[in-house]
Structure 1
Amino acid sequence: MKPSIRSIHAADAKLTMAHLFVAFGALFIGATAGLLQTLVRTGKFTLPAGIGYYQILTVHGVLLGLVLTTFFIIGFVLATQSKTAGAYSAGERKWAWTGFILMTVGVAITSTYILLNEASVLYTFYAPLMAHPGFYIGLALVVVGSWLEGFVVFRRHARWRRENPGERSPLLSYMGVVTMLLWLIATLGVAATVLLQFIPWSLGFTETIDVLVSRTLFWYFGHPLVYFWLLPAYMCWYAIVPKIIGGKIFSDSLARMSFILFLLFSFPVGFHHQLTEPGIDPFWKYLQVVLTFMVVIPSLMTAFALFATFEMRGRELGAKGLFGWLKKMPWKDVRFLAPFVGMLMFIPGGIGGIINASNQMNQVVHNTIWVTGHFHLAVATTVVLTFFGVTYWLVPSITGRKLTASMNKLGIVQTVFWAVGMLIMSGAMHWHGLLGGPRRSAFSEYAGNADTTSWGAYQMAQAIGGSILFVGMVLMLVIFVYLAFLAPKGEEEFPVATVSEAAVPTPKVLENWKLWIGVTCALILFAYTIPFIDIVQNAPPGSQGYKLW
């Protein structure tokens, strides 16, 4: 029998590719909706066939912010765990496929009602807007399906530890566990509001809904969602990029500690998204703002570790001086270039996040299109460009194909298009927001205001940037299809870096899951118990809501 040239077990590869197919399908539809939004906001384009602006806004947010990211992340985590911890068992794959099917069915149901214009409530689905019950039921299926896949990741890691007592677990498997653990704990909030509030309310079983409770539960989920997006990018930066440049991981223990800190500091901070909302005591808002800034610590740890890796490798290749390593990096390798550009974009993205989380500065940009620009830097550039960088090697590696020189060059072009388009569009959004340009609004809703006549240039810049991004999206889809089906057969590297010999041993306490889960739960209870009780006890009369269906 001819040996397989896939880098992981064939059955695990098929499972991963199934997730990627859904993810890139979501990219196509969601990015198209994004382009249409930027065109509408110029005031010179009208949507055809009675399509509503908030309909495509919801499509864009749900498919890119939730579907693309969640499916890609789970597929990536499954592949890296299969590579480093070993193939999944038949039973584990069965549960993973069950979860995938539930998620896909949920996406189909939710997307159907959005496309029918019966759920134009954006991806935040704030009450008192009410969508069709199918929208919420679909979301619930996505969450439940993802839980099943998360438990598969937990089980495979636990099985590796049983089979290898006393040994340090594979770093990528460990990171996958933290990522899925963060997701599972975070989605408890959105699952609670969907199952206990929105579904009964939309079905008519209850007449009212507590808006503040629903928003609080959403943002309990909404902020750690950002780190669920980021952690897989960090997995690539910590454990994949060093191998691509020919170096080694600077410190295994620092990498694991940064992931644990993200787990601890991601949850008790949701109130910083609700600073302007009444009904929450200012003390608890202040406390959660302070806790929000704690995530700066693992972010700076990551920056230190990454640039230490780059410098160490640069010096091995003869680099001298503070920035000599820049000349030694493989800039013509898209597997490095795309994630590195994503890292650079995280610098202004992180600064914007600090502004959003600061009470006084937040008042200037709250509910302006500045916030949209920030999300496009932090998620649509830092995270998505890193995901694209992963795609260039992951897809051919697990399908037994090659990343050809022509596709590598096209990938570099795609990276440039995406980065330039995002800089233009996001930059215009940031500046427009500082001038008061509203978030979530079409041009026609404020074009008649005499004070907004100077906004046209920023709207046009957003459309130009969005058009460049659309070209980048088309290029990425062409590359993905080629690598999945048309690239020549061959063996492509699945790059996994080893730890530097100079690194200190990893403390065993970092894998004491009972401890870290316990500390996480304690922080959540500390930050939310008293204010949540206060919210419920002092709740105003519920809202009847506005049905969209």
Structure 2
Amino acid sequence: MMNGTWKVDARDGKLAMAHIYVAFVALALGGLAGLLQVLVRSGKFELPAGISYYTILTTHGVLLGLVLTTFFIIGFQFAAVSRTAGTLSDRVRFWGWVGFWLMTIGTAITAFYILIGEASVLYTFYAPLQAHAGFYIGLTLVVVGSWISGFAMFAHYAKWKKAHPGQVSPLLTFMSVVNMILWLICSLGVAATVLFQFIPWSLGYVDRINVLVSRTLFWYFGHPLVYFWLLPAYMIWYAIIPKIIGGKMFSDSLARMSFILFLILSIPVGFHHQLVEPGIDPVWKYLQVVLTFMVVIPSLMTAFSMFATFEMYGRSKGATGLFGWLRKLPWGDARFFAPFVGMLFFIPAGAGGLVNASHQLNQVVHNTIWVTGHFHLTLATTVVLTFFGAAYWLIPHLTGRVMTKAMNRLAIIQTIVWSIGMIFMSSAMHFAGLLGAPRRSAFSTYGDAPQALEWIPYQIAQAVGGTILFIGIILVLIIVTNLAFFAPKGETEFPVAEVAEQAERTPLVFENWTLWIGIAVVLILIAYTVPFIDMIQNAPPGSKGFKLW
């Protein structure tokens, strides 16, 4: 069939699949690094050949937190805009490939310096930890490549709007544009600290940098990064899952409003990762904590919308009673089951996020492995399981194949295995964190700390959970390989839901980008301008190694 009905153009599919291949290679390598981490933390295993624990920790964080997510998201979004706004032009596709190769080359450079032990600086690469300049240059290429891909999507969206004046754009295209705007604004922070601080410092042009500025710029980027991961999962929940279950979307307007709220509220909140740091006035910390709690609103809107969709579907199939609709959902369909389990895990993940963002409760868990456990519930479960569920229809759609019943059963098993592994590992991390177990640390670094004996059972439970999760990675790699290369030839639908008949008409104001981006910029300036000036003017003696800071 021609594009515009339901199929992504084959040329666009190749671009999307190139990103997805890199994403799953990153999953394999990063997952292996994660397995080694939990085995080391159990105290029962030592890394061979003098490999540093912090090398594998950096490998795990960068490959899974940055590479897997960014490549899968951009690949999925290119497919989504092609499916809903029409075939990409040759020019847009060309720049999409330029962005892909820049990101891939940057990833290879970054991974090389990590693996040779020249960049054991962890996922956050905090100063005064210093990596080889190649590590920072590689990350810069990844970010710049993603920007190019983002602008390519903007150009495709603008072309659609020009051809359809006065019309509301397709929902998935709109959502992709919002997510890339969010990414472009927030990644300016990490680009600034890498280009103007870390690269000159690592090359020896300066002796010192302003550490507080570097950490602030990182977290200006670091927390919105979470929403860059989450919004594609929300795209799948809002616009695709209703079609998979055979229902309709509860509200197009509510979906767009939630995305606009994420764009406005998710960036000026980085200080809630810096609540225990000196040098930031408590007033500004308080402001950003308030803004952080406001991000709960679009998340609750999403939960309401999704469960309203499920209930509407169940009622249409004759369900009665308060929860009778649950029995009508397609539990045997991995395309639904994996994302739905991810939604359920987001309930405790969101509760943990409220703890992290609260000034008082954060004092208990800050820099403990609780935070790592929370991180694994949000990204490594809610987001990743949703991405797995999407891969089960997206990959065969793009490769011209179909998912067999055997692969579907294996995908159901994979979801269950992943859930069991994460319950073991994340729960143990949360409990150990409440006992004060530090994050980012190997078992051998605990020394003679008397409380370390309390942590041992939880470290062993983490190793058990991590091992089960690695089995889950092997299973999903088997499924993805089958869907990409060995599954029977055929046509698989790219499902896009229709809006329920009783839903309100979507207003055009949601696409007033001057308004929404303007509000986002104003909030960012309010939240950061005064404290940022204060960090520069009142930096400790000797910290201003580079004249810009």
User: Which residue matches 2:323?
Assistant: 323
1:439 aligns to what? 439
Residue aligning to 2:223: 223
1:508 aligns with 2:508: yes
Counterpart-to-counterpart distance in 2, 1:255 and 1:39: 42
**1:450 Cα offset (Å):** 2.6
The reply to whether residue 522 of structure 1 matches residue 522 of structure 2 is yes
Which deviations, in whole Å up to 9, do the C-alpha atoms of 1:391-420 show, x marking residues without a partner?
Answer: 000000111100110100000000001111
Decide whether the 8 Å contact of 1:342 with 1:386 is kept in 2: yes
TM-score w.r.t. the length of structure 2 is 0.98
**Corresponding position: 1:60 with 2:60:** yes
Matches within 5 A, 1:1-400: 7-400=7-400
Residues 222-251 of structure 1: CA deviation (Å, up to 9, x unaligned): 010000000000000000000001111100
Letter in 1 for 2:219: W
Question: In structure 2, how many angstroms separate the alpha carbons of the residues matched to 1:296 and 1:3?
Answer: 41
Distance 2:139 2:436 in 1: 33
How far apart are the structure 2 equivalents of 1:226 and 1:365?
Answer: 19
**Once the 2 structures are TM-superposed, how far is the Cα of residue 452 of structure 1 from its aligned partner?**
1.7
Letter in 1 for 2:282: P
Does the CA-based 8 Å contact 2:27-2:63 persist in structure 1?
A: yes
Structure 1 residues 186 and 19, CA gap change in structure 2 (3 angstroms): same
Task: Measure the CA separation in 1 of the matches of 2:304 and 2:279.
Answer: 40
* Alignment check: 8 A CA contact 1:6 1:398 kept: no
Q: Do 2:6 and 2:494's aligned partners in 1 also have CA atoms closer than 8 Å?
A: no
CA contact (8 A) 1:33 1:56 kept: yes
- The alignment partner of 1:529 has SS state of helix
**Unaligned regions of 5+ residues in structure 1, if any?**
none
Q: CA deviation at 1:454?
A: 2.4
One-letter code of the match for 2:113?
Y
* Counterpart residue identity of residue 203, structure 1: L
Measured on the aligned residues, the alpha-carbon RMSD in Å equals 1.3
CA-to-aligned-CA distance 1:29-86 (integer Å, 9 cap, x gap): 0000000000001111000111100000000000000000000000010001100000
Cα distance in 2 for residues equivalent to 1:167 and 1:277: 48
CA distance in 1, matches of 2:506, 2:530: 37
Determine the structure 2 residue equivalent to 1:484: 484
Q: Identify the residue that residue 538 of structure 1 maps to in structure 2.
A: 538
2:486 is equivalent to residue 448 of structure 1: no
CA distance in 2, matches of 1:542, 1:226: 34
* Contact 2:349–2:377, Cα closer than 8 Å, also in 1: yes
**Is the CA contact (8 Å cut-off) linking 1:258 and 1:298 kept in structure 2?**
yes
Which residue of structure 1 lines up, in the alignment, with residue 460 of structure 2? 460
- Give the whole-Å Cα distance in 1 for the aligned partners of 2:2 and 2:301: 42
- The letter of the residue matching 1:483 is L
**What's the TM-score once normalised by structure 1's chain length?**
0.98
Q: Is the 8 A contact 1:128 1:543 kept in 2?
A: no
Of 200-209 and 534-543, deviating more is 534-543
User: Does the residue aligned with 2:478 lie in a helix, a strand or coil?
Assistant: helix
Q: Match of 1:427?
A: 427
How far residue 451 of structure 1 moved from its aligned partner, in angstroms, is 2.4
Provide the rounded CA distance (Å) in 1 between the counterparts of 2:516 and 2:445.
Answer: 48
Q: CA deviation at 1:340?
A: 0.2
More divergent stretch after superposition (441-450 vs 339-348): 441-450
Paired residue for 2:405? 405
1:447 CA displacement: 4.6
Q: CA deviation at 1:463?
A: 0.3
Where 1:450 maps in the other structure, the secondary structure is: coil
What is the distance in 2 between the residues matched to 1:492 and 1:63? 30
| Contact 1:6–1:399 (Cα < 8 Å) also in 2 | no
Q: How many residues align?
A: 544
Distance 1:487 1:541 in 2: 63
Write out per-residue CA displacement over residues 413-449 of structure 1, whole angstroms, 9 at most, x where no aligned residue: 0000111100110000000000011100011111532
Instruction: Give CA-to-partner distance per residue, 1:173-216, whole Å, 9 cap, x none.
Output: 00000011100001000000000000011101111100000000
Deviation at 1:544, TM superposition (A): 10
How far has the Cα of 1:541 moved from its partner?
Answer: 2.6
How far off is 1:7 after superposition?
Answer: 2.5
Cα distance in 2 between the residues matched to 1:543 and 1:435: 35
Alpha-carbon distance between aligned partners in 1 of 2:449 and 2:514, rounded to the nearest angstrom: 57
Query: Is the contact between residue 339 and residue 389 of structure 1 (CA under 8 Å) also seen in structure 2?
Result: yes
User: What per-residue deviation string (whole Å, max 9, x for no partner) do you get for residues 14-33 of structure 1?
Assistant: 00000001000000000000
Contact 1:40/1:47 (8 A) holds in 2:
yes
State the alpha-carbon separation in 2 of the partners of residues 450 and 304 from structure 1.
46
Native 8 Å contact 2:6 2:493 kept in 1: no
Gaps of 5+ in 2: none
Q: For residues 525 and 453 of structure 1, what CA distance do their matches in structure 2 show?
A: 47
Tell me the distance in 2 between the aligned counterparts of 1:287 and 1:543. Answer: 27
SS in 1 for 2:415: helix
Please tell me whether the aligned partners of residues 447 and 453 of structure 1 are also in contact (alpha carbons under 8 angstroms). no
Separation in 1, partners of 2:17, 2:448: 49
The 2-side partners of 1:385 and 1:75 are apart by 17
Partners of 2:473 and 2:188 in 1: CA distance: 33
Note if contact 1:7-1:400 (Cα within 8 Å) is conserved in structure 2: no
| Whole-angstrom CA distance in 1 between matches of 2:165 and 2:542 | 55
Structure 2: distance between partners of 1:337 and 1:189 = 37
- After TM superposition, give the deviation of residue 453 of structure 1 in Å: 1.2
The one-letter amino acid paired with 1:47 is L
Question: What per-residue deviation string (whole Å, max 9, x for no partner) do you get for residues 154-190 of structure 1?
Answer: 1111111111112221000000000111000010000
Q: CA deviation at 1:322?
A: 1.3
CA displacement 1:84-122 (0-9 Å, x = unmatched): 000100011111100100000000000000000000001
Which 10-residue stretch deviates more, 533-542 or 363-372? 533-542
Q: What is the alpha-carbon distance in structure 1 between the residues aligned to residue 289 and residue 518 of structure 2?
A: 22
Structure 2 counterpart SS, 1:49? helix
Deviates more, 1:179-188 or 1:450-459: 450-459
Report the AA paired with residue 451 of structure 1.
Answer: Q
Q: Distance between the aligned counterparts of 1:458 and 1:7, measured in 2?
A: 48
